[in-house]
Chain A
């Protein structure tokens, strides 16, 4: 017997970046808003307080701030002919949980996409012809232009007090920034973060090779800043505890440091934590959402009616909720029909470890999640692919996000794994090594998708989401090409010894080592309901009073970290709801 709550105007499912931004943007309408978060309440004080937060074991290794896989995880298989098995122990990617979600524990790398990223399909066809796209690759254009989204990229950077060096302000190219950057209306709100020695060596070598290294744009505030919501941010102190940790210093952009203080001024918003949404409810026609059903803190089933439903959970959860709610046609890999679960993608990383004698000190512990120098010469369509036989590309960088000794200790492959030899190796290498990394785009494929698992269930007895994914030749070719470019830089830096970690052509997706939490797709945005779940305003084609936010809406993955686009598109959707939808509730785009 479920409890039925009084109807509200808007229910928001998930209270990370997109949910909190949506709540703040819609708060001014005066409408009644209920936000449901399955995890616990968390705030900078007391939950991330120093010194308790500086605990690698609790947060970095036992993953205190993350989703607990014992309650819910996904299953994974490489191909349709395999049996998917649970992702039992988190490694490869780390979905968030609790207020702030993944916005608590991200590194803070804050990118805008390149113009070509947003029209990938048409750019490739224009430059190389339609035959250049492999038959199984379902690459699409984003349904909006860069110019349309620019004010929202700008707004989110201001919300975070982002630090960076602009490369292109209103068409004027600026030294030290990314020369490939699309035109921005404004520079970054705060100056670039300080650089580490590793980034300095990388930059010198990259410049000698004719490249244009620039500091990674950072949602880490580097100067005093008050954001557009009136919230003051702290100046980053390079503590080395960014990713996997909450920021005790109010410096890293997060819902806690940027949005929650502003929400306290509104009494038309109620946040309910420990509210695990089971499904979105629809009326008999299946074309109108009537609210959601969730399990509350006491284990009771609760129905929350609402006129407008916003799904703002993590990418995987949004897709799963759509499937569990039977909203939108599930993707069928045999026929290629259906859209929910289609175009799942990940990211393709590679790296080089560089080891030096003890005359060089890299001090990896002095870091932010975003201390690094990047180059974009081999990203997306910034270079000619015509003779290379692949689509996409990667950033190359020297980034050090911390020197936490359990997880961030890099040793030569020849070093003993235990005993006195291991002790010598950690002494000789901890301060005296650096790395070069690459983060690459991943295209979508007919054979890579999400659906519901037939066997494994979550704590509430609902099917787990099943991921069918493996590396495809296009991305393996890409990363091998990137490896040759990164190796030239490593050689020029001149370490005592270096080791390459780029995937071979026979590599399979491995859930064990951490790679990135940048899982994308499954509920993609587009212009055509046959190939997308939501329109450019992130509004469901099938259920117009349902909006679906986040990286589930990416048609394919790009090389960059996703949060900048995730949050800009959420702000864009919020703007559309305020200025168009509320006056005339219905489809904002006619299919």
Chain B
């Protein structure tokens, strides 16, 4: 990775920095910023850098930015989840009925079961995120002397892998459940319509070739095995940049 020129701040990094401007400098540390380097080609103009999280506190927000950035990074295939606004998406979801578990049956008694009987945790999505971040950060502090957001990309990816494989578990929350929650919400935000806060430049839809909300395709049916010529459009009429 080439050394960055101080006067040219890549837009995604600018988003990270400006988000972190809300956070006391001493808490923010420097490693997230130095770890955030990456080749940025398109300008994610749709992203609000001034977003103030509603559900997540400052420490949690730093975790979310760092974790989501590893789950769907910016790379040669285009923008990643952070500049697309996915952390914003997740924060908003936590304050919706979904985040509170109001879309699931959450009455007790709770019991563990064979996996085939499905979700049996008493945790709503916001509980899973909050407990997971707290437990993971405590583990990182214990093991590395730093919170998750201040570790290197390689260390962060290793921790996410351990959570994914169920090798890192906590009394407050299952590590695998926390990972599933993070990945599910990150992909939702990255692939959903921008009206929910993520996918702000339609980068994911452009990447895969999904035309979004066009919803009118008789001509496609008349031309089998042909590439679709038009770029994606969102519900609000946004087009990809």
Q: Give the B-binding residues of A (Cβ under 8 A).
A: 50-52, 54-57, 61-63, 68-70, 73, 76-78, 83, 85-89, 91, 194-197, 200, 237-241, 248, 360-363, 365-367, 371, 403-406, 409, 417-420, 422-424, 426-427, 430-431, 455-457, 508-512
Contacts and interface: CB of A to CB of B under 8 A. Distances in A.
A504 to B, nearest CB: 13
A457 B157 CA distance: 43
A401 to B, nearest CB: 13
Interface residue SS majority, chain B? loop
A402 B164 CA distance: 29
Contacts of A62: 98, 103
Contacts of B228: 361, 363, 365-366
Interface in B136-176: 157, 160, 164
A86 B77 CA distance: 42
Contact of A403 (B77, B118, B160, B210): B210
B157 A237 contact: no
Nearest to A63: B103
Given A419-B71, A511-B117, A361 B225 contact: yes
A418 B107 contact: no
Contacts of B205: 405
Given A61-B188, A63-B103, A197-B225, A55 B235 contact: yes
Contacts of A70: 101-106
Given A194-B221, A405-B191, A418-B71, A69 B111 contact: no
Given A63-B103, A427-B207, A196 B215 contact: no
Given A89-B104, A417-B183, A426-B208, A240 B225 contact: no
Interface residues of B, number: 59
A240 B221 CA distance: 12
Nearest to B113: A85
A88 B111 CA distance: 12
Interface stretch (B16-24, B50-58, B192-200): B192-200
Nearest to A238: B217
B241 interface: no
A51 B217 contact: no
A548 B185 CA distance: 41
B215 A240 contact: yes
Given A56-B193, A418-B183, A431-B209, A456 B107 contact: yes
Q: Which of A85, A360, A409, A430 has the most CB of B within 10 A?
A: A85
B9 interface: no
Interface of B: 70-73, 75, 77-78, 98, 101-107, 109, 111, 113-120, 157, 160, 164, 183, 186-188, 191-193, 195-196, 204-205, 207-213, 215-218, 220-222, 224-228, 235
Contact of B221 (A77, A238, A426): A238
A55 B212 CA distance: 9
B105 A73 contact: yes
What 4 A-B pairs have minimum CB-CB distances, sorted nearest first?
A366-B217, A239-B215, A366-B220, A194-B221
Contacts of B191: 56, 405-406, 409
A63 B102 CA distance: 12
Contact of B211 (A360, A361, A365, A418): A365
Contacts of B217: 237-240, 363, 365-367
Given A194-B222, A366-B228, 12 more contacts: A50-B215, A70-B105, A85-B117, A196-B224, A237-B215, A361-B226, A363-B226, A426-B208, A430-B208, A509-B116, A511-B116, A511-B117
B120 A85 contact: yes
Contacts of B120: 85-86, 88
Contacts of A195: 221, 224
Contact of A427 (B195, B208, B218): B208
Given A360-B225, A403-B210, A510-B116, A423 B216 contact: no
21 contacts: A54-B212, A54-B235, A55-B192, A56-B193, A68-B102, A89-B118, A197-B225, A238-B221, A362-B225, A365-B228, A367-B217, A403-B210, A405-B205, A420-B75, A423-B77, A426-B204, A427-B77, A431-B209, A457-B107, A510-B115, A512-B116
